[in-house]
Amino acid sequence: MWFRKQSLRAGVGSDVRGSVGRMDGGLQAAEVLPGKWLCIITGSSRGLGRSLAMVLAPRLPPASRLVLVARDAGCLLRLERQLPAGRLRVSRVQADLSGEEGQRRLLSAVSSAQELDEPPDRLLLINNAGSLGDVSKFVVDFTEPSEINSYFAFNFTSPVCLTASLLKAFPKRENFHRTVVNISSLCARQPFKSWSLYCSAKAARAMMFRVLAAEEPDVRVLSYSPGPLDTEMQKTARSETADPELRQTFTDMHRDGRLIDCQESARKLVNILVRDEFQSGAHIDYYDQ
């Protein structure tokens, strides 16, 4: 089973933290970045997206804008209150990204914010929002097209259209640096029994981002697989996965403390973005050295 191999390779607890520490390459946790950034993080009300906001915010230069997006407005407000006050402009956008209305709301909020701001010299979009889908079923159980279509509307169509719309709204110009991130998964590359929707949408997303990287050489494109995280999604994985071996693996990982802390994984991604040495279109995993 992959998770056991990965855990052995990367070690657990302090070993994992040690390996991430080495990957920091001497960057200080709170080192403020240059330029003026516009950052959009989808699914920032909890889990990895929330941690990404917490890790990025203190490093964003003054007058940068951070756009937080999710359905749960209360969680977004609580997150904003925990971010460094004063120097950063924060927009909270309550939007259901599974439908066109939610996507329009987000794009309109970004464009209204930009009317108040100086043009950014960096755009960072992190397509993090995602869902597991119904993992209580095997492929032969998916007989209803509407269930598959609605899963793909949120987990594939939405990040594609959001990425495309933002790249159009912020076109190429001199000294303008654009980066788009696809939060991916090992499931984009490997089949997991009873996780067919999740694996398929992650695989489709990963390929879409590779095509984008090939088509738009001036855009920095990254797929990042954050590792098995201790989040709500993992709770669903432990309780609802139909495949008994996979369900047991997640249960064991949780019991043995082998799930990765979201802040650790968020720090790793932020450091990869700050160093900016990845090949555009690459698929990088938390466990990669």
Ligand X SMILES: NC(=O)c1ccc[n+]([C@@H]2O[C@H](COP(=O)([O-])OP(=O)(O)OC[C@H]3O[C@@H](n4cnc5c(N)ncnc54)[C@H](OP(=O)(O)O)[C@@H]3O)[C@@H](O)[C@H]2O)c1
**By the rule CB under 6 A, 210 interacts with ligand X:** no
Site stretch for ligand X (CB under 6 A), options 44-52, 55-63, 110-118, 267-275: 44-52
Q: With contacts defined by CB under 6 A, name the span among 15-23, 27-35, 127-135, 238-246 that binds ligand X.
A: 127-135
**Residue number, nearest CB to ligand X:** 47
Give how far the C-alpha of residue 245 lies from the chain's centroid of Cα atoms, to the nearest Å: 27
189 binds ligand X (CB under 6 A): no
- Cα–Cα distances in Å, from 11 out to 14, 23, 197? 8, 15, 30
User: Which of 7, 38, 39, 47 is in the footprint of ligand X by CB under 6 A?
Assistant: 47
174: CB partners within 8 A, 6+ apart: none
Q: Which of 129, 135, 212, 272 binds ligand X (CB under 6 A)?
A: 129
Instruction: Kindly indicate which of the ranges 53-61, 129-137, 140-148, 214-222 contains the residues binding ligand X, using the contact rule CB under 6 A.
Output: 129-137
Shortest distance in whole angstroms from residue 131 CB to ligand X: 5
- Among all chains, which residue has been given the structure tokens 């066109």? 100
Count of residues binding ligand X (CB under 6 A)?
28
In the list 16, 38, 45, 65, the residue contacting ligand X (rule: CB under 6 A) is: 45
Q: Which is nearer to ligand X, 36 or 46 (CB)?
A: 46
Please enumerate, as own/partner, the contacts of 49-54 that have beta carbons within 8 Å and a separation of 24 or more.
Answer: 49/126, 49/128, 49/129, 50/75, 50/79, 50/262, 51/262, 51/263, 51/265, 51/266, 52/126, 52/128, 52/266, 52/269, 52/270, 53/79, 53/83, 54/79, 54/82, 54/83, 54/263, 54/266
> Dihedrals φ, ψ of 186, to 5°?
-55, -30
Residue with tokens 């930009």: 114
Q: Say whether residue 265 binds ligand X (CB under 6 A).
A: no
Cα–Cα distance, 77 to 57 (Å, whole number): 15
* 72 makes contact with ligand X (CB under 6 A): yes
If one asks whether residue 247 binds ligand X (CB under 6 A), the answer comes out as no
- Please write down the HEC assignment for all residues of 226-284: CCCECCHHHHHHHHHCCCHHHHHHHHHHHHCCCCECHHHHHHHHHHHHHHCCCCCCEEE
**By CB under 6 A, residue 177 contacts ligand X:** no
- Is residue 241 at the binding interface for ligand X, with CB under 6 A as the rule? no
Task: Mark residues 215-234: x for contact with ligand X by CB under 6 A, - for none.
Answer: -----------x-xx-xxxx
166 forms part of the interface with ligand X (CB under 6 A): no
Nearer to ligand X, 179 or 265 (CB): 265
Contact assessment for residue 29 and residue 3, using Cβ atoms and an 8 Å cutoff: no
Q: Which is nearer to ligand X, 128 or 157 (CB)?
A: 128
CB of 204 to ligand X, least distance (A): 13
Pairing of the two strands 122-127 and 282-285:
unpaired
70 lines the binding site for ligand X (CB under 6 A): yes
Summarize as ranges the residues that interact with ligand X (CB under 6 A).
43-49, 70-72, 75, 96-98, 128-131, 154, 183, 185, 226, 228-229, 231-234
